[in-house]
Amino acid sequence: MKPIFSMFFWAVFAGIVWGGDGFALKHDEAVYGPFLPVVKVADAPPASDVTISGNRLFAVGKRALTVYDISDPMLPKKTASLYGLTEGRQVVVYKENLYITSRMGGMYVVDIRDPDRPRLRAHYDTMELATGIVCDNDVAYVSQRQFGTEFIDISDPDHPRHLGFIVSGEAQSVDIANGLLYAGDWGSRELTIIDVRNPKNPAIIGSGALDGLGDGVYVRGNIAYAATGPHKLRQAPATGHGLDIFSVENPREPKLLGRLKFPAQAVHRNPDFWGVTVDDHHMAYVSDSFNGIFCVDVSDPANPKCVGHCVLPTNERTGNPDAAGSVESGDGCLYVAGHGNGLYVVKTPLARRVPAERECPKLSDPVRPDLPFDEALVRDFAILPTDGQALAAAAWKEGLVWLAAGSEGLLLVDINGPTPVVKSTLATRGFAYDVKIFGNMMFTAEGDNGVGIYRLAEDGEPVPVNHFDTGQPVRQVTVPDPQKWLIAKSGNSIRFFFDISDPVNPKRVWKDQNHRGILYGRDLVDGVSPSGLTACVTQSTGLLWYDFSGPVPTLKTVTFPEKVSFYDGACWVGETLFFFQHGRYGLLKEAEERSREEITWIPVEGLPYFGKASSHEQTICFTDRRNGNIHFLDVTDPEKPQTLRKYSLQGHPELAIFVNGRAVIPCGHAGLLVEKK
């Protein structure tokens, strides 16, 4: 009886009642307005977001874009599909194209001049997990959570080009008006306002505290609307699940005008999206995941009122209500993206099309100049510009380095002279995210196209040996034993283990997955312990140790079995593993089951965040790709670490390698840095 009692308790707490069809829910109509009937569109695939252009509705979801004719608003008819997207997270119409964020898949540009024959124009490699998107003045603004918002030149839709970025609290979704970007920041619980009139040198100018985790944001007139939600059902006091309304007449000092709370969500699981849009008749349409859709009268911003709501029908697979990914207002009806079951139509006289025209606040200040390069960086490093992102490097021989350069593929770079020179290029099947070399064998991570294995000829020409897919984009590979084992980090949280003793016929032997948290960046630690173990720093489950002594790899043990930061990392210095966390490090010789309290921590003055680490002899190079910092540390005496030098740049420094004692650092769109002799 306990699960039933618990479910009943939370239903009462949330102000919801059970409907007649299993777990379908209704909220209290006295508080949230009449329940609006929901109709599912037949044969519609799952969707995370929808948008309208003319008499066509576009929905994005799992690996597909779907087009519907809504000439009859209540009867959408599927007219076309475009497959091959990694994932559909958000979608906007700008001029004659759709711009689609795809989390690990970056950004897609789709030509809809003939909307019933959509055509892929471009696939752009974003800095990180592409989540929110808005377009204006030939720039796409793509929010990427912990790594901020990227600004992409889309004046030539066939060739999007990086302009700049800015880091805020944790940008989930964004809106734009008159050169001001409004970000719904998740972890920091803020509405953040950013001057982006010069995308190469943006600046945060104001912020307002949210009563929950930030996501969807929309600006109309002098008012900003922010949809919020909590991360935990039993969060106390209950925050989020509501609409916060701010005056942004002075965007430097947003002022809270009003706040409306929705019920505490009766279901807690992913997806957890919250969005809002507002028409010119003062009606806000808010999507709140499993809570459904709320229509809110915001004519008096200080006293918003729910005037209607709906909860989506039960998802047969989970037994819970379907999760509303987003809502779009049409003529007399709402269109809701159902994350599990597909597209829904909600008939209501409250609904009107949301016009694109809206007067919003402006800044009269001068536009900021372009950011200069750090003088110390230019003094100490030669810089090789790249068209794609410089993401990983591997030394080959005689001062030659293979560079994984994202959309540019693989570049063979000669670093012997005063200036790095590209000797040859290899167009990879997918974006080149990682590269490792052992002898004449090269292993690559190629995004949607999985793992590549090449044999390097004497002149450096790569000869393909095999490509194999993991089912999700591959961002990192590590090779504990080039004669036997390869690990591929796939998706947000999965590690696949392959037997590559026959590289022509690799065999997947094990899959290990985090069920909480996201693996950002280089989480697998290169190198092995004296007994042949490898390590992985996971955001949610600690430092994992993998044992390769048996016929199949196994998880041997976990050090720090608790949540760690994506800033945390580890690297080998000789036979000692340095584990870095919150401006300090602990030393491990082998896999040990130890808690945070059982470790002797050594502080590093002036280094609150480390980033990822690599070493050469007794020098460790830290690269903080979120904040653009590079830091060299001397650990000859591990008890007394000494800072050697540090740099900052407007870029994303990745894991350094050392070639003949010189640091070689891929830095995303800032190019490849090669330490001068």
For residue 253, the Cα-to-chain-centroid distance in whole angstroms is 29
Name residue, tokens 């985790």: 213
pLDDT band at 238 (very low <50, low <70, confident <90, very high): low
Q: Please state, rounded to an integer, the average pLDDT across all residues of the chain.
A: 91
Does residue 345 contact residue 351 with C-beta atoms inside 8 Å? no
**pLDDT tens-place string over residues 212-234:** 999 999 999 999 999 998 855 44
Compute the distance between CA of residue 598 and CA of residue 583 in angstroms, rounded to an integer: 17
Beta strands 25-27 and 410-414, pairing class: unpaired
* 19 pLDDT higher than 50: no
Q: Say how far apart CA 499 and CA 551 lie, in whole Å.
A: 10
Which of 1-10, 306-315, 535-544 is modeled with the greatest confidence?
A: 306-315
Q: How far apart are CA 270 and CA 319, in angstroms?
A: 14
CA gap 108, 97 in Å, rounded? 10
The per-residue pLDDT for 327 is: 98
Contact 333, 74 (CB under 8 A): yes
Mean pLDDT across 434-455:
96
Predicted local confidence at residue 420, as pLDDT? 97
- Report the distance separating Cα 137 and Cα 151, nearest Å: 11
Query: Closest Cα to residue 521, out of 606, 417, 610, 605?
Result: 610
Residue 348 has φ and ψ, to the nearest 5°, of -160, 135
Return d(Cα 90, Cα 58) in angstroms, integer.
11
Of all residues in the chain, the percent with pLDDT exceeding 70 is 95
Looking at the chain, the number of H-run helices and the number of E-run strands are 3, 57
pLDDT score for 540:
77
Min mean pLDDT across 2-11, 101-110, 245-254, 535-544 is at 2-11
Cα angle: 107, vertex 113, 116; to 5 degrees: 90
Residue 439's pLDDT is: 94
Verify cis geometry, omega within 30 degrees of 0, for the bond prior to 271: yes
Task: Kindly report, residue by residue over 514-562, the tens digit of the pLDDT.
Answer: 766 777 778 999 999 999 999 999 887 888 999 999 999 999 999 887 7
Angle at 382 between CA 381 and CA 385, to 5 degrees: 125
Proportion of the chain above pLDDT 90, given as a percent: 79
Q: What is the DSSP letter of 524?
A: B
Q: For residue 14, what pLDDT is reported? A: 44
Condensed to tens digits (0 to 9), the pLDDT of residues 604-658 reads: 988 877 889 999 999 999 999 999 999 999 999 999 999 999 999 999 999 999 9
pLDDT digits (tens, 9 = 90+) for 476-497: 999 999 999 999 999 888 999 9
pLDDT of residue 514: 79
* pLDDT of 660 above 90: yes
Q: Is the pLDDT of residue 265 over 90?
A: no
Q: Minimal CA–CA distance to 213: which of 145, 129, 121, 277? A: 145
Asked whether 229 and 189 are in contact (CB, 8 A), the reply is: no
- 83-106: per-residue pLDDT in tens? 999 999 999 999 999 999 999 999
pLDDT for 246: 98
Stated as kind and residue range, the H or E segment containing 480 is strand 474-481
Question: Does residue 226 sit in helix, strand or coil?
Answer: strand
CB 387, CB 408: distance < 8 Å: yes
Kindly list the strands in the beta sheet with 657-659, ordered across the sheet, starting from the edge strand earlier in the chain.
381-384, 672-675, 662-666, 657-659
pLDDT of residue 493: 87
Q: How far is CA 446 from the centre of its chain?
A: 17
Question: Quick check: 8 pLDDT over 50?
Answer: no
Tell me the three state secondary structure of residue 11: helix
Helix ranges (H only) for 127-249 are none
DSSP element (H, E) containing 555 = strand 554-559
**Among 130, 52, 135, CA closest to 89:** 130
Q: Which helix (H) or strand (E) holds 535?
A: strand 534-538
Tokens matching residue 230: 């909590």
pLDDT at 317 over 90: no
What are the helix (H) ranges across 20-82? 29-32
Q: Report whether pLDDT(20) > 60.
A: no
Edge to edge, what strands does the sheet with 305-310 contain?
Answer: 274-278, 283-288, 293-297, 305-310
Reply yes or no: is the peptide bond before residue 118 cis, omega within 30 of 0. no
* pTM assigned to the model: 0.94
Give the SS3 label for residue 123. strand
Residue 337: pLDDT above 70? yes
Structure tokens at 606: 């002036």
- Tell me the per-residue pLDDT of 92-151, one tens digit each, with 9 for 90 and over: 999 999 999 999 999 999 999 999 999 999 999 999 999 999 999 999 999 999 999 999
- Match 């009806």 to its residue by tokens: 333
